[in-house]
């Protein structure tokens, strides 16, 4: 298994030896790529490979956590440790060959065993095309730790690492990491391969229902207030039954699904146009600049203006 430094010299990206909070604590950090230019349907926005990682040790020791506004997959190629999230409220063991599935809006923390480090590679991604993989036994927030490879099976672990590289290395080669539909396609293929290792049998009728329900929400005008009652009636259900079924099969509630679409469209417009922030908020359904800015920051971690500045820097 090549080192991050050797891989960066071959493939591009940025390599650094980073210091930790403890004496002589260092890690090899290869930022494979990072992009601030989203695609409306979905995009892969960041990836890094880290050797001798202490992961989230400071947060673990201070009993704090982190919440992302994107999805993130973290594959552990060496070492073992623990994972905790606010949804399941369960501390889970993590070992070599495991995949950590991090979901938007769910606080979490993970760390190697005391006094040790681990090696990992991660990919962050976002967008409605990826939301479609939530639920149905696939990307399931209630199962945040998945087994991809047996801990001692070096060949299997290296095979999965190679699959991660097949997704991200084409982006590392580019001078400017502009996402493309090909990048999205490779990421979807990786998720499909992963889900194939753990997907439970799901009735075909439920798969069809989930696909139709997501499609109707995708077609709902962003500027129009979500009418869950009429959506429920279109499926012959009461509103509460519709909400529950959608969340069970799709992984998130209809309202959260719609809200993510609004913010993703806002990200796209902030980067691709010079439209004022107030007008962007109004065009995607927010009645005031204050409410739009507050909701945008809740989801992305920065204000609309900060997001636009970062993207254009």
Q: What is the mean pLDDT of the chain?
A: 90
pLDDT of residue 149: 92
CA distance 94 to 235: 41
Distances (CA, A) of 70 to 28, 112, 138, 164, 193: 24, 23, 17, 18, 20
User: 58 and 19 in one domain?
Assistant: yes
Task: Write 79-82 long-range contacts (CB < 8 A, 24+).
Answer: 79/112, 79/113, 79/116, 79/117, 79/118, 79/119, 80/112, 80/113, 80/116, 80/118, 80/151, 81/55, 81/110, 81/111, 81/112, 81/113, 81/116, 81/118, 82/110, 82/111, 82/113
What is the DSSP secondary structure assignment for residue 206, as one 8-state letter?
Answer: H
Lowest mean pLDDT segment, chosen from 27-36, 203-212, 276-285 = 203-212
CA distance 203 to 195: 16
Q: Which of 195, 214, 238 is the last residue before a domain boundary?
A: 195
User: 41 and 161 in one domain?
Assistant: yes
CA distance 75 to 77: 6
Lowest mean pLDDT segment, chosen from 198-202, 206-210, 266-270 = 198-202
Say what angle helices 239-250 and 254-272 make with each other, to 10 degrees: 60
How many structural domains is the chain composed of? Answer: 2
User: 219 and 156 in one domain?
Assistant: no
The two three-digit tokens of residue 40, written as one number: 């409306």
User: 229 and 182 in one domain?
Assistant: no
Q: What is this structure's pTM?
A: 0.75
pLDDT of residue 44: 92
User: 256 and 299 in one domain?
Assistant: yes
pLDDT of residue 272: 86
User: 264 and 178 in one domain?
Assistant: no
Q: What is the CATH number of the domain that holds 179?
A: 2.60.120.280
User: 217 and 151 in one domain?
Assistant: no
User: 224 and 179 in one domain?
Assistant: no
The two three-digit tokens of residue 123, written as one number: 């990919």
Domain that holds residue 209: 204-312
Q: Which strand (E) or helix (H) includes residue 131? A: helix 128-131
pLDDT of residue 19: 94
User: 224 and 188 in one domain?
Assistant: no
């Amino acid at each position: 298994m090549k080192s991050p430094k050797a891989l960066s010299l071959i493939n591009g990206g940025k390599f650094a030896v980073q210091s930790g909070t403890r004496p002589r604590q260092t890690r090899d950090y290869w930022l494979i790529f990072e992009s601030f230019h989203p695609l409306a349907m979905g995009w892969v926005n960041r990836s890094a490979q880290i050797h001798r990682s202490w992961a989230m040790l400071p947060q673990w020791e201070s009993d704090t956590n982190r919440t992302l506004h994107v999805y993130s997959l973290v594959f552990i190629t060496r070492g073992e440790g623990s994972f905790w999230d606010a949804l399941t409220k369960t501390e889970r063991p993590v070992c070599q060959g495991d995949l950590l599935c991090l979901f938007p809006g769910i606080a979490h923390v993970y760390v190697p065993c005391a006094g040790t480090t681990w090696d990992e590679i991660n990919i962050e991604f976002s967008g409605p095309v990826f939301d479609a993989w939530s639920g149905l036994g696939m990307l399931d927030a209630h199962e945040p730790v998945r087994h991809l490879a047996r801990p001692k099976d070096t060949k299997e672990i290296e095979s999965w690492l190679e699959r991660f590289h097949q997704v991200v290395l084409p982006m590392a080669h580019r001078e400017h990491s502009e996402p493309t539909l090909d990048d999205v396609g490779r990421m979807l293929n990786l998720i499909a391969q992963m889900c194939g290792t753990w997907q439970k049998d799901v009735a075909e009728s439920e798969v069809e229902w989930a696909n139709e329900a997501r499609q109707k929400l995708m077609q709902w005008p962003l500027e129009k207030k979500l009418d869950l009652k009429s959506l429920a009636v279109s499926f012959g259900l009461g509103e509460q039954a519709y909400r529950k079924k959608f969340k069970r099969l799709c992984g998130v509630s209809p309202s959260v699904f719609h809200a993510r679409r609004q913010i993703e469209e806002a990200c796209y417009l902030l980067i691709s146009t010079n439209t004022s922030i107030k007008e962007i908020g109004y065009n995607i359904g927010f009645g005031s600049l204050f409410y739009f800015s507050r909701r945008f920051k809740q989801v992305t971690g920065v204000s609309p203006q900060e997001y636009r500045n970062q993207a254009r820097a």
